[in-house]
Structure formats: structure tokens, C-alpha cells
């Protein structure tokens, strides 16, 4: 799992980005040479032609010898700092156990997308799914928290495997996960929820060599309205509660029409 997490946060530096320290070093060195040449030309020219050429050559060579290594060192250190900052940003927004977004980052990224749509005066449709592991406490109580953590990693991996590249997956706390599907229709959201439910139910989870059936309940809302994360979560969480009360291992999904204040009847 550690290797998977490291791969998930490893910055993908392009060949162009890798060449930037070299480019800055060359450009900086040329600038220092130009400044040195201008200064030497101004000062030494008054001493006569016999001093001009040796003085210019000496100034240029000093600029190359001193500026080149110093600029190269600074450029590579700045690149290392940028990579380290990128690592820290990813770590700060990621749940270390499942490599999903943590709740704060998940909330923030959804509100960013919804806010951008509002500022652009366009209606963003999509869906929010809340996925909760069924009878999860029994796993921890029977097999221990290490096996419970393994179950969460399995569930998270299956969720990520059923969504698109631009979709957001977050761990909202405990055994609860969220999936945000920008642009998804009601039918798309229901299809994703069903794929997730089936994928998890089909997984082989054998704590201490004993087969244990995993399942999840899903509550969701598809929307065509200018709603924020808090409101979407409230509606989806209410549907999750219905799925739990309806027997678990099931889906409850509702749809919010554009500028409608009441949600529709749930889909099964």
C-alpha cells in the first residue's frame, strides 16, 4: 500500500520541466557575460586598445566560471523545492490509508467546480454519491482494526476503478466515501453506483483466511441546479439512510431538477 500511495503522489515532471534548470542556468550565465562585457568595455576602453581584449576575455571568463555553477546550483535547488512543495500539497489533501482525497479537500474541490460554474453563469449538472461499508464495525470487532483497514483499502480501490479520470473520490470519514461525478446524468450516476456496488460485492476479502462478504450501501443525488456541497451532501446522506434502512447492499438515488426546491422520488 505504501508503494501505491507513493506512486499516487509522485509528481510527473515532463522532459520540458526537467530541462528548465539547465535553461535558466544558460540564460543567467549569458546575462552575466553580457553585463561583464558591457562593464569591461566601458572601463577598460579608456585605458587603450592594448588592455581592451585581455580585460574583456578575463571578465567574460570570470562571469562564466563564477555565475554558471552558482546559477546551476540555485536552479536545481529551486526545482527540488517546487517538487517538495507539490508532494506536501498532495499529502495534505490525501487520506494516507486509502490514497483518496480527504474530506476537506473533497469538499473544497467540489465547491470550486460549482463556484466556477456559477461565476460563469452556466448550469453545471452532475451527481454526488455517498458510499458506506455495510456492517463495518463487525469487521473491526471480529478480525481487528488491521483487517478493517485492509477492507477500506479494497473498497477505495474498487471505487476508484469504476469512475472516470475527472471524477473525484474522497474518504469522508470512517467507512464512508464520496464520489463526485461532474457532468453525469441521472442514468450515468445510477450506472456508476451499481458498478461500484457490484465490484465490491464481488471482491475476495479473507481476513485471517476466513471469507468475509463485503458490501456497501449507496445514497446519491444527481442535479441540474446551482447547489453547494453541503446541500448535495445532505440530500445524498438522506438517501444513504434510506438504503441502510431498506436492507443495505442497495442504492437510493434522487434527482434535483434545475431550480427545483424539492427532490424527486428515489430510484432503486
Query: Which active-site residues does the annotation give?
Result: 175
Buried b (16+ CB within 10 A) or exposed e, 116-141: ebeeeeeebbbbbbbbbbbebeebee
Packing angle of the helix pair 2-9, 49-93 (nearest 10 deg): 130
Beta-carbon contacts of residue 186 (< 8 Å; ≥ 6 apart): 127, 222, 253, 255, 267
Beta-carbon contacts of residue 137 (< 8 Å; ≥ 6 apart): none
| CA-to-CA dists, residue 126 to 117, 157, 221, 261, angstroms | 12, 22, 9, 17
Three-class DSSP category at 174: coil
Count the neighbouring beta carbons within 10 Å of the beta carbon of residue 39.
Answer: 14
Beta-carbon contacts of residue 252 (< 8 Å; ≥ 6 apart): 218, 219, 220, 239, 240, 242, 243, 246, 266, 267, 268
Q: Which residues pair with 255 in a beta bridge?
A: 222
Compute, in degrees rounded to 10, the torsion defined by CA atoms 232, 239, 193, 101: 50
Using the 8-state DSSP alphabet, how is residue 262 labeled?
S
Amino acid at each position: 500500500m505504501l508503494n501505491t500511495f507513493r506512486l499516487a503522489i509522485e509528481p510527473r515532471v515532463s522532459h520540458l520541466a526537467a530541462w528548465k534548470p539547465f535553461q535558466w542556468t544558460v540564460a543567467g550565465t549569458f546575462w552575466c557575460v553580457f553585463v561583464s562585457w558591457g562593464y569591461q568595455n566601458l572601463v577598460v576602453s579608456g585605458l587603450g586598445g592594448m588592455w581592451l581584449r585581455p580585460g574583456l576575455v578575463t571578465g567574460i571568463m570570470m562571469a562564466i566560471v563564477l555565475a554558471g555553477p552558482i546559477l546551476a546550483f540555485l536552479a536545481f535547488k529551486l526545482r527540488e523545492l517546487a517538487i517538495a512543495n507539490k508532494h506536501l500539497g498532495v499529502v495534505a489533501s490525501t487520506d494516507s490509508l486509502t490514497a483518496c482525497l480527504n474530506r476537506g479537500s473533497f469538499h473544497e474541490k467540489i465547491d470550486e467546480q460549482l463556484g466556477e460554474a456559477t461565476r460563469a453563469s452556466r448550469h453545471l449538472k452532475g451527481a454526488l454519491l455517498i458510499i458506506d461499508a455495510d456492517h463495518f464495525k463487525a469487521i473491526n470487532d471480529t478480525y481487528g482494526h488491521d483487517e478493517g483497514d485492509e477492507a477500506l483499502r479494497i473498497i477505495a480501490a474498487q471505487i476508484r476503478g469504476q469512475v472516470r479520470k475527472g471524477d473525484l473520490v474522497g474518504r469522508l470519514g470512517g467507512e464512508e466515501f464520496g464520489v463526485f461525478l461532474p457532468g453525469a446524468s441521472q442514468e450515468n450516476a445510477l450506472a456508476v453506483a451499481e458498478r461500484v456496488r457490484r465490484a465490491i460485492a464481488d471482491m475476495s476479502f479473507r481476513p485471517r483466511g476466513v471469507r468475509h462478504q463485503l458490501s456497501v450501501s449507496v445514497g446519491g443525488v444527481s442535479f441540474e441546479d446551482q447547489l453547494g456541497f453541503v446541500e448535495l451532501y445532505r440530500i445524498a446522506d438522506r438517501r444513504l439512510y434510506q438504503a441502510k434502512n431498506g436492507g443495505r447492499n442497495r442504492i437510493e438515488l434522487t434527482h434535483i431538477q434545475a431550480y427545483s426546491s424539492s427532490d424527486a422520488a428515489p430510484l432503486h
